Amino acid sequence: MSTTTEQKSSYDREDLLACAHGELFGPGNARLPLPNMLMMDRIAHISDQGGKYGKGEIIAELDIRPDLWFFECHFESDPVMPGCLGLDATWQLLGFLLGWLGHPGRGRALGVGSVKFSGQILPTAKKVTYKLDVKRVISRKLILGIADATVSVDGKEIYLAEDLRVGLFTSTDGF
């Protein structure tokens, strides 16, 4: 799939914020959420080749700071990053990849086959790493990305999500 001349293999926080404002892939196309829901600080690597299935991969990172908004409310006196935020980050990244590949439409999470949590992200951690391995991109009436993902904290894998699904929609009126 051909992409724009602006295509890069990594993106910093300013680039991610530009995507959130609709400046990266054009009007009506894939966006990342704005903070506080933007769950990464950088995309360290993105490619339409490689990965576990040879169909592409994304590696992104979130720097952990004790003052991140979710630690104050989840939970009082027992702060931990909600697992659903790590899962949402993987959906965000799969939607970003579809836009990066040049596909039109707005991203929507469509599901996940299975999720397993085997650890937690505490305010004492330093870095969360998200890794997605693309399994398939379907480009028909609906643009659909399918990937597996891992979430690691300080190098230790703690979440595994299989068969993540994100679609791109040129109209979300009937969704």
Whether residue 103 lies in the annotated active site: no
Task: Pick the closest to residue 24 from 82, 102, 88, 87 (CA basis).
Answer: 102
Residue identified by tokens 């799939």 is: 1
For 132-143, give one letter per residue: b (16+ CB within 10 A) or e: bbbbebeeeeeb
Query: What number of CA atoms fall less than 13 Å from residue 172's CA on the CB side?
Result: 13
Give the C-alpha separation, 65 to 72, whole Å: 12
Task: Pick the closest to residue 89 from 145, 160, 39 (CA basis).
Answer: 39
Which phi and psi (to 5°) does residue 68 adopt?
A: -60, 140
What count of residues does the chain have?
A: 175
- Active-site option among 21, 45, 74, 103: 74
Catalytic amino acids?
74
